[in-house]
Amino acid sequence: MINKRRKFLKTACAPVAFSMFGISLIEACSKEDNSTITNNLNNQNNSSGSTSDNSVTIDLENSMFTSLNNVGGWINYSTENMLLLRITSTEIRAFSNVCPHQGSQNSWSYNNSKFRCASHGRSFEDSCSGGLTCYTATLQGSTLTVTR
């Protein structure tokens, strides 16, 4: 019985829950309110790029991406949880920065075509079949679009 009450209070909207205790609030109960917040969070802009629901557009002329100017250059773009790697003059590859082993995101290094996570020493090839989650990355001029 107590568990049922707890479950109800967790899932009921605040005005309904408060009304059970004699407190009235005038507020609509709607799931749409939450989705609007989520959508707004997913569409935040920042100085280096913009994000929509599942794609990120990056302006490579922004100084934080200077390391991607040369083949072999890479960056842990932690704002978007991605590793970006310049493969050729016309290709940048994008991976999730979440280590497949135990989820570390900020212990990466890159050498000899492999990303290495220092948390436990695992290495992953820089190909899309190398173990890291690979995203679709499209380079047009100095604009990189990554679709997750």
Q: Where does this chain bind ligand FES (CB under 6 A)?
A: 99, 101-104, 117, 119-120, 122
Nearer to ligand FES, 119 or 145 (CB): 119
Closer to ligand FES at the Cβ: 65 or 115?
A: 115
* Shortest distance in whole angstroms from residue 96 CB to ligand FES: 12
Instruction: Give min distance, CB of 135 to ligand FES, in A.
Output: 19
Q: Cβ 85 to ligand FES, closest distance in Å?
A: 17
Cα separation, 132 vs 69, in Å, equals 22
Task: Rank residues 7 and 101 by Cβ distance to ligand FES and give the closer one.
Answer: 101
Evaluate whether 49 touches 142 at the Cβ level (below 8 Å).
no
Distance CA 15, CA 24 (A): 7
Host H or E run for residue 33: helix 32-42
Cβ atoms of residues 136 and 128 within 8 Å: no
